[in-house]
Amino acid sequence: MFRVAVMYPNEEGAKFDHNYYKNTHMPMVEEHLKAFGLVKTEVDRGISGGGDQPAPYIGIGYLYFETKDAYDKGMVEKGALLRADIPNFTNVTPIRQVSEIL
């Protein structure tokens, strides 16, 4: 299984609408990527980097696929549509990481 982490840095001036992300953006992701093998999604709200340190990411979305190729194909076809929604919930540029779950 492969997990895609879409991480939104908690930088100076960062804004992030967790409600919109969880209830509007992620259902949109599911709708458009399910046909490409999306298994499930998860959402994290960053609260701490440990102790009194701020969280390094204000929010993280996780997408799970059986294969990396499935994710790649889905993003080729639907990526522009999904990225166009980003300004509706944040003003920061996300960082993506594709990982194989061992």
Q: How confident is the model at residue 88 (pLDDT cuts 50, 70, 90)?
A: very high
Residue whose tokens read 């960082």: 95
- Answer yes or no: are the C-beta atoms of 64 and 1 closer than 8 Å: yes
The whole-chain average pLDDT of the chain stands at 97
| pLDDT, tens digit, 9 for 90 and up, residues 36-85 | 999 999 999 999 999 999 999 999 999 999 999 999 999 999 999 999 99
Cα separation of the two ends of the chain: 8
